[in-house]
Chain A
């Protein structure tokens, strides 16, 4: 083979290799990459998942908004540009001027989370060097109804309070999807509506409420008023971001007697028909325990709870003793902070030295301060068969039984349920009764400590813990009014039986049908054809 022919063959070989490469590329482009390229996934993913209630109703969502950045070096007149941009977006002109004067950074953040109207105004300025960056703004369609419970996010869309903070990992893990909470927005609204109405009626400083499933621990509703609008960055007059049901601790007063009686049943230190001497006061050392209301000279044990006698309860509590009482309350979880998905939590306040007088006062709910959420969880354990329950804000499977270890005997729990029903039928909780729903409960009217540590005269913090249906409890409803005032309708009384108990009854009468709790009252009379 000659030299020329050899070169031609080499050239032809190179050509064939080149054609082969071109052919492979053709097949690759036309066949292999014909469908579904990387461009299909260019759609921006939202940073946080939606929050929904247990029925799928939307509670919080990222809405698409735009952040505005400017490149100052392209402006002829930076001062005028800053002035116009400040007017169009409502941002601080001084900050813009300072940013534009800073030559270290090529970009200046003009404004975040622009509304469409603001974007229009900016576009009409006709300025060069402006860039709109896609961003997200958290929006809460129900506004104030669950403000403290859901919490809010900061400008960078990080949760800073409430479930937005407590569920942060889940919300990021399911970004673009949904995270279902245990909240039932129907119940939440009813609780909010009735609590706000009661707060107005009794001119209370603050109010709150919780509805919880006693078997699954799911919190269906939690209200704290005054509240705030989570869609506004600024608080209005009278608004508060504080969740009084989880963040604050209170001396809850007589609702605490539930635990004193449960302890007495556990220790078998009394029977319900035993007669106790009440008298005018109970002297313990240099202290005298008095009643909030006039009481008979003697009361049977069951009526001590029904009529909410401090003196009778103190005697019952002292039979078990301080050491036993403290261990019992500790076992119920009242001396620790409840661990839930809510970041807001409060540590209880209780006596360092737990002597006789402390045993007596703790017995009727003074001298110990716990958060309402902690109280609700412990009270649920008393009626749910005596097993520990931990509140949760995450939706559980239908009919979930998350009850933990046995804390008190099932027999004690059954006795307490009967006794709590007796309080509503024959005691201070009568105004909480709703025909057909077998409500059990306990009132609490606690004195309110002032800034100096002394109790404020005539100031009360009233509460009511209701359980329904009491003989096979499914839900606990707890309501609290801070310093309510009596009205003409209540005869000037502001005690829990006149303020908190009717509130609980109204809430239950509205939520029970929604929650599918059967009404066992006989149907009302149906009259023929008199429409």
Chain B
């Protein structure tokens, strides 16, 4: 009886050693993998951080203005008060401006809002995407 018990115990110990080794090895491999992934995440986070910063730089207003002036021939214009919220149509209501499409309108700049020296002139045609200055 004791011999069987001893045999069983030794066998169980052997199996336990194998299992422990297997778990230990799997853990080591997983840790290596984890370290690699962590480094990858850190690198990627670093790259994202750099890209975000680069985006902030290239999308900065100074650069956008410079490009708009150089490539598109745009320039600063005086803000023109075209409309107010009161004149915007509510849902289901007729437009207070009637059927006059704003994108077909042009603004006559009043003398009080004289354009800057770089402006094209006293009358500026507004494209379809013009904002309603408030």
Contacts and interface: CB of A to CB of B under 8 A. Distances in A.
Interface of A: 5, 8, 12, 15-16, 18-19, 22-23, 25-26, 29-30, 37, 39-40, 42-44, 57-58, 61-64, 139, 141-143, 145, 185-186, 189-190, 192-193, 433-436, 506, 509-510, 512-513, 518-519, 521-531
Nearest to A58: B56
9 contacts: A12-B5, A12-B9, A57-B56, A63-B46, A139-B53, A506-B116, A524-B110, A527-B105, A530-B106
Given A42-B35, A142-B60, A531-B104, A25 B5 contact: no
Contacts, number: 152
A480 B105 CA distance: 39
B83 to A, nearest CB: 5
Contacts of B57: 141-143
A79 B97 CA distance: 82
Contact of A63 (B53, B103, B133): B53
Contact of B41 (A26, A43, A435, A526): A43
Contacts of B133: 513, 519
Contacts of B116: 506
Nearest to A435: B112
B49 A63 contact: yes
Given A39-B34, A44-B42, A530-B106, A145 B60 contact: yes
B6 A61 contact: no
Contacts of B100: 526, 528-529
Contact of A22 (B16, B49, B104): B16
Interface residues of B, number: 59
Contacts of B76: 510
Interface of B: 2, 5-6, 9, 12-13, 16-17, 19-20, 23-24, 27, 31, 34-35, 38, 41-42, 45-46, 49-50, 52-54, 56-57, 60-62, 65, 76, 78-84, 87, 97, 100, 102-110, 112-113, 116, 125-126, 133-134
Contact of A145 (B5, B54, B62, B105): B62
B134 A513 contact: yes
- Chain B at the A interface: mostly helix, strand, loop or mixed? helix
A434 B112 CA distance: 7
Contacts of B87: 523
Contacts of B45: 43
Contacts of B80: 524
B38 A39 contact: yes
A509 B79 contact: yes
B61 A185 contact: yes
B83 A521 contact: no
A142 B53 CA distance: 10
A527 B62 contact: no
A462 to B, nearest CB: 20
A63 B54 CA distance: 11
A224 to B, nearest CB: 16
Nearest to A433: B112
A524 B107 contact: yes
A524 B102 CA distance: 13
Contact of A524 (B54, B65, B109): B109
Given A523-B84, A527-B108, A39 B61 contact: no
Given A15-B13, A185-B61, A524 B82 contact: yes
A531 B56 contact: no
Contacts of A522: 81
B81 A519 contact: yes
A521 B9 contact: no
B53 A58 contact: yes
Contacts of B17: 22
B103 A531 contact: yes
Contacts of B20: 22, 25-26, 29
B31 A527 contact: no
Contacts of A526: 82-83, 97, 100, 102, 105-107
B133 to A, nearest CB: 6
A53 to B, nearest CB: 10
A29 B61 contact: no
Nearest to B85: A518
A524 B81 contact: yes
Contacts of B46: 63-64
Given A26-B20, A26-B23, A37-B34, A509 B108 contact: no
A481 B64 CA distance: 27
A150 to B, nearest CB: 13
Contacts of A61: 49, 52-53
A211 B12 CA distance: 79
Nearest to B112: A435
Given A37-B34, A139-B53, A523 B81 contact: yes
8 closest A-B pairs by beta carbon, nearest first, are: A141-B56, A435-B112, A64-B46, A141-B57, A189-B61, A58-B56, A526-B105, A525-B108
Nearest to B65: A193
A523 B110 CA distance: 9
Contact of A142 (B23, B56, B125): B56
Given A141-B60, A185-B61, 18 more contacts: A12-B2, A18-B13, A29-B24, A43-B45, A63-B46, A64-B49, A186-B61, A189-B60, A435-B81, A510-B76, A512-B79, A523-B82, A523-B83, A526-B107, A527-B106, A528-B104, A529-B105, A531-B104
A189 B63 CA distance: 11
A143 B107 CA distance: 37
B53 A22 contact: no
Contact of B9 (A19, A189, A192, A434): A19
Nearest to B114: A435
